[in-house]
């Protein structure tokens, strides 16, 4: 879709919404009355298969339709019972025995069994599945060997159905964050019969995820999916904890155009926005009883380098690009002071771990490195393109960096926006030189940021491959006897990563959303985690405190 057509659609949508606001009941008013949350979800979802999708927009929908052994409490971020009503952990921390809730059912009424998890984890790890998050299960004994074709027998993997309601999982070492992994969508169970009805175990993007076919086990069921318009879910009648669920449904809107999304919020067509345009932040900050919600966020914003493509295959070029960015100025001006400059992949202070800082804003050193790489004062520079997924905020950041690189290094960088699915494909196939990227913690531990760059990892799309790094992250750190020893290994590994610099860190996130005052029990948290089973809408909220435009 061209930018012109996209712009026309956004304009027509906004006009329709304004008409709806003035001429009839708004989404928010009707939603509050009917218990339907109207949710700005960012991009159109890549898909709804838990073992295929990789993005935040998909996570919000998939996690409403499926549930893992554990779920995450949105206030504390602590694991709490999901399909497993309880669990026992062996003294050495290596064997977990999960006791499944006999009331946990699929949306077709069938009881969920331990064998369903065994089958689903087999699928998640199967080499033909192409699950980019298969490494999430690598703490399980034999899981990595199975995923890498070193063994073809899933019986060698440490996950066993003791009986219908008892699942035993054996780990290679005590893993302090293991329970947190189990509410990640890549570990969710899927309904075997439904998958096989529409293809093989490992087939991707089959018809099983269509509303008329999908069988899930979450608090909601898929009701409607209109491409580029909305995804609607409704409350499940078979969910084991349905009495806790107060919403009758959620409508997820693809709000890639954040200017239109903010406009939709202003005219009461959305309860919640996924983003806020940067130039609107001062406006909302100045409001009394502002709907703006800014919160600390366990996430990093950075650029990827394709280390196999010239000229960024030269580490001196990568370091020159990194050192010529004035992050503090970028944040102070373009980003309105809401983020923190970063110089590594892991957000500082993650469970007490602080990453190394090996460089700073140093344009003189950057120019020297670029000259050593063969481009003195930018002479002979072949040109490079930066790609980013369509977003006005991403565009503004790319334009600012483009200008800094021109001013400091005298080089031209082109920038190009791509729609979400195209952008993901470009990164997956390494069809880029430099690409915008963000990573939001799936669990609160530095490992979640560092294990991305294991050789051959599903989310390592940089060409970085270092056996010593693999050894530290995959072997030594999990077997560390103390947290201090583990963090020391992380520090050494991250130092190695940033010396080779397959990524260009820019800032540590804060989350920013617009939230309607009628929304209850959707707390801000470090992971910006959404648990829809607790959310409800207050039809009698105090409208007198709302400021309108």
Statement: residue 8 has pLDDT above 60: no
List, for residues 242-259, the tens digit of each pLDDT value. Answer: 999 999 999 999 999 999
Q: What is the CA radius of gyration of the chain?
A: 24
Q: Give the confidence band of 84 by pLDDT, cuts at 50, 70, 90.
A: very high
Mean pLDDT across 262-276: 98
Ordered by where they begin, the domains of the chain are: 3-45+218-291+515-545 (3.40.190.10), 67-208 (3.90.76.10), 296-510 (3.10.105.10)
- Which pLDDT score, from 0 to 100, does residue 351 have? 87
Q: How far apart are CA 198 and CA 196, in angstroms?
A: 5
Report the chain's mean pLDDT, rounded to a whole number: 93
- Which pLDDT score, from 0 to 100, does residue 458 have? 87
List, for residues 10-20, the tens digit of each pLDDT value. Answer: 434 444 444 44
Q: Give the confidence band of 393 by pLDDT, cuts at 50, 70, 90.
A: very high
Closest Cα partner for 62 from 182, 177, 181, 184?
184
Statement: residue 312 has pLDDT above 70: yes
- Which pLDDT score, from 0 to 100, does residue 111 have? 98
- Which pLDDT score, from 0 to 100, does residue 20 have? 42
- The angle subtended at Cα 439 by Cα 139 and Cα 362, nearest 5°, is 120
Q: How far apart are CA 137 and CA 155, in angstroms?
A: 15
The reported pTM is 0.88
Higher pLDDT, 541 or 543: 541
Mean pLDDT across 268-280: 97
Statement: residue 358 has pLDDT above 80: yes
Q: Give the confidence band of 542 by pLDDT, cuts at 50, 70, 90.
A: confident
List, for residues 134-193, the tens digit of each pLDDT value. Answer: 999 999 999 999 999 999 999 999 999 999 999 999 999 999 899 999 999 999 999 999
Statement: residue 5 has pLDDT above 50: no
Statement: residue 23 has pLDDT above 70: no
- Which pLDDT score, from 0 to 100, does residue 16 have? 44
For strand 249-253 and strand 36-40, is the pairing parallel, antiparallel, or unpaired?
parallel
**Which residues, including other chains, have CB under 8 Å from residue 18's CB and lie 6 or more apart?**
267
Statement: residue 549 has pLDDT above 90: no
């Amino acid at each position: 879709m061209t930018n012109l057509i996209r712009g026309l659609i956004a304009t027509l949508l906004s006009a329709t919404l304004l008409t709806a606001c003035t001429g009839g009941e708004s989404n928010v008013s009707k939603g509050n009355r009917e218990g339907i949350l109207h949710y700005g979800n960012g991009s159109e979802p890549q898909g709804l298969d838990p073992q295929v999708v990789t993005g935040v927009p998909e996570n919000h929908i998939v996690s409403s339709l499926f549930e893992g052994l554990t779920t995450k409490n949105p206030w504390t971020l602590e694991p709490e019972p999901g399909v497993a009503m309880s669990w026992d952990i062996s003294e050495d921390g290596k064997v977990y025995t999960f006791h499944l809730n006999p009331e946990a059912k699929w949306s077709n009424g069938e009881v969920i069994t331990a064998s369903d998890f065994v089958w689903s984890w087999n699928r998640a790890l199967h080499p033909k599945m192409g699950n980019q998050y298969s490494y999430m299960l690598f703490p399980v004994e034999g899981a990595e060997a199975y995923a890498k074709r070193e063994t073809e027998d899933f019986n060698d993997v440490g996950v066993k159905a003791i009986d219908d309601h008892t699942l035993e999982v054996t780990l290679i070492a005590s893993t302090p964050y293991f329970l947190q992994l189990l509410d990640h969508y890549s570990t969710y169970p899927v309904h075997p019969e439904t998958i096989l009805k529409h293809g093989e175990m490992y087939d991707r993007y089959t018809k099983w995820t269509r509303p008329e076919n999908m069988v899930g086990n979450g608090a909601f069921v898929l009701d409607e999916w209109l491409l580029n318009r909305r995804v609607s879910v409704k409350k499940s009648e078979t969910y084991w904890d349905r009495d806790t669920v107060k919403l009758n449904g959620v409508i997820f809107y693809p709000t890639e155009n954040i200017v239109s999304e903010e406009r939709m919020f202003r005219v009461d067509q959305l309860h919640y926005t996924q983003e806020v345009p940067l130039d609107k932040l001062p406006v909302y900050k100045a409001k009394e009883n502002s709907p703006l919600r800014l919160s600390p966020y366990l996430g990093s914003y950075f650029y990827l380098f394709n280390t196999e493509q010239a000229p960024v295959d030269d580490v001196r070029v990568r370091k020159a690009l990194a050192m010529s960015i004035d992050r503090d100025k970028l944040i102070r001006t373009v980003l309105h002071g809401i983020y923190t400059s970063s110089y590594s992949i892991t957000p500082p202070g993650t469970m007490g771990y602080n990453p190394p800082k090996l460089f700073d804003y140093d344009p003189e050193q950057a120019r020297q490195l670029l000259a050593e790489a063969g481009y003195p004062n930018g002479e002979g520079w072949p040109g490079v393109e930066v790609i980013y997924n369509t977003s006005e905020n991403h565009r503004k950041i790319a334009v600012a960096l483009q200008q800094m690189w021109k001013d400091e290094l005298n080089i031209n960088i082109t920038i190009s926006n791509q729609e979400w699915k195209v952008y993901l494909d470009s990164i997956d196939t390494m069809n880029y030189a430099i690409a915008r990227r963000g990573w939001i913690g799936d669990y609160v531990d530095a490992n979640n940021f560092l294990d991305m760059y294991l050789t051959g990892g599903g989310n390592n799309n940089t060409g970085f491959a270092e056996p010593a790094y693999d050894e530290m992250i995959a072997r030594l750190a999990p077997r560390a006897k103390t947290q201090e020893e583990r963090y020391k290994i992380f520090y050494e590994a991250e130092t190695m990563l940033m010396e080779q610099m397959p990524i260009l860190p820019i800032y540590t996130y804060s989350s920013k959303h617009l939230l309607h005052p009628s929304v209850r029990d959707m707390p801000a948290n470090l992971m910006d985690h959404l648990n829809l089973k607790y959310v409800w809408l207050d039809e009698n909220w105090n409208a007198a405190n709302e400021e309108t435009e």
